[in-house]
């Protein structure tokens, strides 16, 4: 593939564009609500009304407002339809010819859309993820060409470092530093791994990127391979994402066919191949060393670090592991420059973050916002606030490793350090909104049950500690626990946090610690007096009613 050929493909694709474009979301969420049938209905309606010359119906990826799906959008009019059905899909086409659409109209000017900043999600919902031509028309693979012909590997690492990009999987480790370490590590064979084992319940950002813009991730991995000296990549995707896996398989095949994966890319000496590896249902495999064990065909148990994967990873070789969203940021950084990226976000948290905004909130879906935006802006402006009659109580970030942030702290900016200060973490991007009907002790137990079931079993603090903590939380919820039990719970949290082998155990106590910090009264209200002390007063705690907040 030569640059001329790439540009020719882009031009050809552009020339074939029709005047009016109907975009139909076909990501997993909308597909489960019959968006495939909707597309068929739209195609048929266009054919029936003989509008094929002016109108095209395009399958696209995620448009973000998943709670109102299936979504259909019309360019250039900028009309949005929500909760479309196969029955009313035809009327959308009628409306183009002067008729009436019976589908519910959405508002593209809603802050949910207007307050977003699309970097990672730039192509999502706009291009057909199953056609490489569409990706190329949108500028795809141009960054790879630029890198191979105009930058040295060291310059690429430098650009990523200057951009300030931090790992989007949750830890926020400086990406440039990771790339530099792998690049420096000695070894004939190195690997690039994309961590698509998005296991946090409530998070589906990575699924959306893989289903909507798979080539962006592949191109990002290839650029990383060039930068660190790896010619082989693995895309580890969880088995629960069959559509993402299928779209990746199509994308890889198409990239190979066009010489954008394989030997001598763009007539350079750089070779890069990508293989998909499917997970098998283990949250712990999102941990780097467990993920590598899984690729090696073993039980997904983490191992002590050091040595870090950057020095000794897959089969003992230097390995670069990054999250899907991290890779999806690479092409924009290379195309638009590190300075541009470093101009987004805050001083220590550059760029944007994709969040899965779900729970008790009006607008459920995926949003991409600049770092530094406050939780309040996300909840009230983008999220549209609480559905009628409810009061939002807290927002949970970081999944089972994170914490709950109470409403009084909603002016906290969303960046790595600020979230840690209030006792939570950025995490991978899950953001669950909870209202006054949510029992925070129950939330803590929900996450502890998850950690207990997902614990790999290797180290004692996590394996046995999560069981004991889960039992204590159940005892509290069953109103059979005393203050001594609460103390025991807190002691266990401290021990498990500081002695566990890997991040799963180390962060399993976080939801408990965080809810104890901000919602301690909910715990205390459930406690019983010590046996034999039923009549003693405990500073009024035990007699507090359960409805006190």
Partner 1 sequence: MHIKAVKPPLPSQDKRWKIIDAKMRKLGYQSHALIETLHAVQESFGFLEEDALRWVAKSLRVPPSKVYGVATFYNFFTLKPQGAHTCVVCLGTACYVKASGHILEAIEKFAQIKPGETTPDNQLSLLTVRCIGACGIAPAVVFDGNVSGRLTSENAIEKLKGYIHAS
Partner 2 sequence: MAVKTLTIDGKAVSADENDTILQAATEAGIKIPTLCHLDGLGDVGACRLCITEVAGSNKLQPACVTKIAEGMEVKTNSERIQKYRIMILELLFAERNHVCAVCVANRHCDLQKLAADAGMMHVRFPYQYPQAAVDASHDWFVVDHNRCILCTRCVRVCDEVEGAHTWDVMGRGAGSRVITDLNQPWGTSETCTSCSKCVQVCPTGALSSKGKSVAEMVKKRDFVTYLVQTREERL
Residue 85 or 468 having the CB closest to partner 2? 468
Residue 172 or 202 having the CB closest to partner 1? 202
The residues binding partner 2 (CB under 8 A) are 282, 299, 303-304, 306, 452-461, 463-468, 471, 488, 491-492, 495, 498-501
Which residues have a Cβ under 8 Å from the Cβ of 520 and sit 6 or more positions away?
Answer: none
The residues binding partner 1 (CB under 8 A) are 28-29, 31-33, 65-67, 69, 198-204, 207, 239-241, 277-283, 294-300, 356, 358-360, 364-366, 396, 399, 430, 432, 434, 438, 446-447, 450, 453-454, 456
Pick what 397 binds: partner 2, partner 1, none; C-beta below 5 to 8 Å, kind-dependent: none
The Cα–Cα gap between 458 and 501 comes to 8
Pick what 306 binds: partner 1, partner 2, none; C-beta below 5 to 8 Å, kind-dependent: partner 2
Residue 372 or 399 having the CB closest to partner 1? 399
Residue 195 or 301 having the CB closest to partner 2? 301
Pick what 304 binds: partner 1, partner 2, none; C-beta below 5 to 8 Å, kind-dependent: partner 2
Supply the minimum distance, in Å, between the C-beta of residue 241 and partner 1: 6
> Which one-letter DSSP state was computed for residue 259?
T
Supply the minimum distance, in Å, between the C-beta of residue 140 and partner 2: 40
The Cα–Cα gap between 165 and 158 comes to 11
Supply the minimum distance, in Å, between the C-beta of residue 36 and partner 1: 11
User: What is the helix (H) or strand (E) element at residue 321, kind and residue range?
Assistant: strand 319-323
Residue 42 or 282 having the CB closest to partner 2? 282
Residue 186 or 408 having the CB closest to partner 2? 186
Pick what 237 binds: partner 1, partner 2, none; C-beta below 5 to 8 Å, kind-dependent: none
- CA distances, 107 to each of 16, 39, 65, 419 (Å): 29, 21, 11, 31
Residue in 6, 322, 356, 361 with CA at minimum distance from that of residue 165 = 322
Pick what 450 binds: partner 1, partner 2, none; C-beta below 5 to 8 Å, kind-dependent: partner 1
- CA distances, 103 to each of 54, 91, 246, 270 (Å): 21, 7, 30, 50
Residue 67 or 153 having the CB closest to partner 1? 67
Supply the minimum distance, in Å, between the C-beta of residue 67 and partner 1: 5
Supply the minimum distance, in Å, between the C-beta of residue 154 and partner 2: 28
> Is 393 strand, coil or helix?
strand
Pick what 460 binds: partner 2, partner 1, none; C-beta below 5 to 8 Å, kind-dependent: partner 2
Please write down the HEC assignment for all residues of 136-171: HHCCCCHHHHHHHHHCCHHHHHHHHHHHCCECCCCC
Residue 125 or 172 having the CB closest to partner 2? 172
Whether the bond into 170 is cis, omega within 30 of 0: no
40 class by beta-carbon count within 10 Å (0-12 exposed, 13-18 middle, 19+ buried): middle
The Cα–Cα gap between 5 and 15 comes to 15
Pick what 110 binds: partner 2, partner 1, none; C-beta below 5 to 8 Å, kind-dependent: none
Residue 170 or 465 having the CB closest to partner 2? 465
Pick what 217 binds: partner 2, partner 1, none; C-beta below 5 to 8 Å, kind-dependent: none
Pick what 446 binds: partner 1, partner 2, none; C-beta below 5 to 8 Å, kind-dependent: partner 1
Pick what 272 binds: partner 2, partner 1, none; C-beta below 5 to 8 Å, kind-dependent: none
> Is 300 strand, coil or helix?
coil
Supply the minimum distance, in Å, between the C-beta of residue 284 and partner 1: 9
Lay out the sheet containing 319-323: strands in order across: 273-278, 232-237, 191-196, 319-323
Supply the minimum distance, in Å, between the C-beta of residue 455 and partner 2: 4
The Cα–Cα gap between 11 and 150 comes to 23
Question: 341: phi > 0 → left, psi -120 to 50 → alpha, else beta; which?
Answer: alpha
Residue 163 or 208 having the CB closest to partner 1? 208
- CA distances, 370 to each of 301, 323, 375 (Å): 35, 18, 12
């Amino acid at each position: 593939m030569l640059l001329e050929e790439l540009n020719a493909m882009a031009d050809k694709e552009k020339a074939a564009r029709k005047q009016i474009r109907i975009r139909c979301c076909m990501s997993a969420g909308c597909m489960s609500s019959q968006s495939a049938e909707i597309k068929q209905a739209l195609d048929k309606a266009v054919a029936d009304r003989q509008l094929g010359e002016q109108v095209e119906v395009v399958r696209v990826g995620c448009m973000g407002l998943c709670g109102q799906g299936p979504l259909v959008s019309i360019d250039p009019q900028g009309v949005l339809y929500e909760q479309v059905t196969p029955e009313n899909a035809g009327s959308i086409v009628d409306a183009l010819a002067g008729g009436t659409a019976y589908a519910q109209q959405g508002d593209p000017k809603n802050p949910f859309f207007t307050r977003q900043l699309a970097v990672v999600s730039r192509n999502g919902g706009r291009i057909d993820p199953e056609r490489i031509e569409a990706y190329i028309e949108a500028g795809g693979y141009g960054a790879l060409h630029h890198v191979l012909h105009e930058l040295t590997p060291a310059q690429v690492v430098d650009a990523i470092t200057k951009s300030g990009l931090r790992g989007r999987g949750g830890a926020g480790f400086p990406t440039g530093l990771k790339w530099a370490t792998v690049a420096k590590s000695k070894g004939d064979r190195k690997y690039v791994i994309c961590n698509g084992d998005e296991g946090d319940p409530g998070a589906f950002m990575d699924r959306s990127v893989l289903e909507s813009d798979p080539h962006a991730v592949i191109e990002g991995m290839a650029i990383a391979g060039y930068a660190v000296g790896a010619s082989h990549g693995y895309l580890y995707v969880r088995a629960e994402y069959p559509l993402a896996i299928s779209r990746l398989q199509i994308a890889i095949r198409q990239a190979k066919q066009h010489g954008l994966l394989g030997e001598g890319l763009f007539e350079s000496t750089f070779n890069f191949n990508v293989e998909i590896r499917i997970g098998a249902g283990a949250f712990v495999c999102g941990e780097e060393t467990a993920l590598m064990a899984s690729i090696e065909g073993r039980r997904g148990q983490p191992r002590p670090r050091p040595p870090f994967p950057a020095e000794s990873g897959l089969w003992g070789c230097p390995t670069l592991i990054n999250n899907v969203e991290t890779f999806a940021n690479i092409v924009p950084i290379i195309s638009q420059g590190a300075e541009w990226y470093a101009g987004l976000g805050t001083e220590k948290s550059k760029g944007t973050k994709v969040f899965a905004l779900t729970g008790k909130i009006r607008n459920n879906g995926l949003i991409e916002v600049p770092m530094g935006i406050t939780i309040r802006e996300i909840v009230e402006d983008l999220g549209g606030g609480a559905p009628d009659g409810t009061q939002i109580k807290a927002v949970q970030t970081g999944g089972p490793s994170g914490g709950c942030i109470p409403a009084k702290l909603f002016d906290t900016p969303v960046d790595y350090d600020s979230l840690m200060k209030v006792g939570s973490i950025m995490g991978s991007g899950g953001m669950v909104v909870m209202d006054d009907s949510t029992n925070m002790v129950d939330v803590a137990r929900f996450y502890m049950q998850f950690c207990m079931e997902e614990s790999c079993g290797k180290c004692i603090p996590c394996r046995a500690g999560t069981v004991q903590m889960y039992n204590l939380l159940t005892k509290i919820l069953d109103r059979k626990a005393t203050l001594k039990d609460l103390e025991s719970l807190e002691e266990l949290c401290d021990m498990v946090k500081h002695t566990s082998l890997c991040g799963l155990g180390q962060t399993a106590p976080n939801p408990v610690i965080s809810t104890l910090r901000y919602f301690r009264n909910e715990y205390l209200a459930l406690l019983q007096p010590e046996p034999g002390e039923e009549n003693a007063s405990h500073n009024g705690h035990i007699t507090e009613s359960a409805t006190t907040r």
